[in-house]
Amino acid sequence: MSRAHGDPLGTAQLRSRPEDFRVEEELGFTPSGAGEHLMLRVRKRGWTTEAVARRLAEALGIPRGRVSFAGLKDRHAETEQWLSAHLPGAAAPLAAGEELADGVRVVAATRNARKLRRGALAGDRFTLRLRAVAAPPAAVDARLAAIARRGVPNYFGAQRFGRGGRNLEQARAWLLEGQPVRGRTVRGLLLSAVRAELFNRVLAARVADGTWERLLPGDRAGLDGRGSHFAVEAVDEALRRRTARGEIHPTGPLAGTGGEGPGGAPAALEAAILAEEPELTAALEHRGVRADRRALRLMPRGLIWRWPASGELELRFTLTSGAYATEVVAELLEAREPEQGAEAP
């Protein structure tokens, strides 16, 4: 993977303990306090989001399909997130402070008129503790200052591809060789892995030529933290200033059918890279996956850091929904993690 800020400055250990990787979900709205849907904010440790959703459905005596969440959170971490359960007319059977299971505690409970939908997030707040840091602190400080100012490439992290890239291998076997895959959720993960791989290739090319943080004529510019984007016919000074402030970013393809693509040099680059995998891109279109865009640049907002002990570095920042904290770390250090699987965000 091409790195924008240079080679890693050294090595470190990440996720030595679950509390070393803390995530707090930020909703993109405020629950109304009334309605048919019970909203629970849970703190979990050692659980996948899907497992918590199943456990909540069992506790409430309702089908799993009546429980929703906005995004997946890592199992090997300490995380807080919201779930909703369609529970019309019933008294709330769970309240703040109660344990849903060992390692899962309710920290807030309210009501809302609508269920929680995927992607209904403003972002996630991260607190990461890196241990056994083997890198010059002054160089780390300087690199972090550059990251805070310029951002990092918005790659999909390794979590999206499964342990050892297994999701992508399984997707190829399913889409190209006809091997059966059961379950809508699993099929969705495999399609996402394909799109993530193609996007990462485009982004790596833009990092290599130095345009991942710079708008080009023909680009589609994405608004920071939003799904909307617009065509860039010419790059004027106003657009340069907005890009420098991190308000807008160049975008890359989430392959599929339809959608609005770029023009000019960005279009030629994307077409050439997608042409490397014609069968996979055709499979995405055949299955009706809608094309979309994703920002090439990621801004870690409110980035602060400290050295709490010798060889230990703590990072705090907020990312937009769908971004990977591990990609911020990857622009700084080679972070080694225990052998374990992880969920996509």
Query: Which domains does the chain carry?
Result: 1-23+122-151+300-345 (3.30.2350.20), 29-119 (3.30.2350.20), 158-298 (3.30.2340.10)
Report the alpha-carbon distance of residue 195 to residue 344 in Å, rounded. Answer: 14
Q: State the chain's maximal CA–CA distance in angstroms.
A: 59
The residue that leads in pLDDT, 195 or 321, is: 195
- Label residue 339 by pLDDT band (50, 70, 90): low
pLDDT tens profile 12-35: 999 999 999 999 999 989 999 999
- The reported pLDDT for the residue numbered 200 is 98
Instruction: Report the range of poorest mean pLDDT among 105-114, 182-191, 252-261.
Output: 182-191
- The reported pLDDT for the residue numbered 345 is 35
Give the mean model confidence (pLDDT) for residues 277-284. Answer: 96
- The reported pLDDT for the residue numbered 343 is 42
- The reported pLDDT for the residue numbered 72 is 87
pLDDT tens profile 138-150: 999 999 999 999 9
Give the mean model confidence (pLDDT) for residues 52-66. Answer: 94
Predicted structure pTM score: 0.90
Number of other residues whose CB lies within 10 A of the CB of residue 53:
20
Does the pLDDT of residue 74 top 90, yes or no?
no
Concerning whether 236 is annotated as a catalytic residue, the answer is: no
3-class state of residue 39 by DSSP: strand
Give the chain's mean pLDDT.
93
Choosing from 20, 74, 124, 219, the catalytic residue is: 74
Give the mean model confidence (pLDDT) for residues 61-80. Answer: 93
pLDDT tens profile 198-235: 999 999 999 999 999 999 999 999 999 888 999 999 99
Determine what percent of the chain is predicted with pLDDT higher than 90.
85
Report the alpha-carbon distance of residue 342 to residue 345 in Å, rounded. Answer: 9
pLDDT tens profile 96-137: 999 999 999 999 999 999 999 988 888 999 999 999 999 999
Report the alpha-carbon distance of residue 192 to residue 113 in Å, rounded. Answer: 30
Q: What would the DSSP string read from start to end of 144-155?
A: HHHHHHH-EE-P
Give the mean model confidence (pLDDT) for residues 66-81. Answer: 92
Does the pLDDT of residue 341 top 60, yes or no?
no
